[in-house]
Amino acid sequence: MRQTQTNTSPRYWPRVLPGTLLALSLMMVGQVSAKDNNLLFDGALVADPCVLDPKTTDIELDFGTVIDKYLYLNTRTHSRPFTLNLLECDTQLGSSVVMTFKGTESKELPGLLALTGGSATGVAIGMELDDGRLLPFNKATPGLVLQDGVTALRFKGYVQGEPTALKNHSIGRGDFTAVATFEIEYP
């Protein structure tokens, strides 16, 4: 008959105990499992009511020569019109469009576009709808009605003196540019 003897000396436990605890903790971890279909993507593919006319995707609005004295007297120039054309509009797919013109706003004239290039200073670019209502940058237009076929979206741009430059007669003369992008949404 064979006899097994368990070592209970205090020196034996410091060597055995850490290994035993590690084995027990590994047994308690259990299995890592992956659940099927735990990430689901869904959506809907739809047709847009219109197609943007490629001839009106890049618009350059030239204000020509703006005289600083005119801005000191009138604060802003007359508006210059421009048009974005939407083609192949189908009003059964959507009856309106919302546009957002985006760009860096003037610090002195929030809602107006800051200049991005050139040597001119003290002015910003404003926009309005065809009927003269102001159209702040980075804010959506009201719903604009679509027509079957071609829809011409008419807007206007203008140059406005910033309040400090007007007050101090410090508009900096020179060339100027400002850049904006637009987003089209069919609600």
CA 97 distance to own-chain centroid: 17
Q: Among residues of the chain, what percentage have pLDDT more than 90?
A: 71
103 Cβ neighbours under 8 A, 6+ residues apart: 113, 114, 137, 138, 178, 179, 180, 181
Please give the C-alpha separations between residue 110 and each of 8, 37, 77, 158, 162, in angstroms, as whole numbers: 82, 48, 18, 15, 10
Mean residue pLDDT across the chain:
86
**pLDDT of 89 above 90:** yes
Token readout for 159 is 């140059």
Whether 75 has a pLDDT exceeding 70, the answer reads yes
The pTM of this model reads: 0.75
Percent over 70 (pLDDT), the chain: 80
pLDDT at 110 over 70: yes
Point out which residues pair with 112 in neighbouring strands.
Answer: none
Q: Given a cut of 50, is residue 148 above it in pLDDT?
A: yes
Top-level class of domain 51-185 = mainly beta
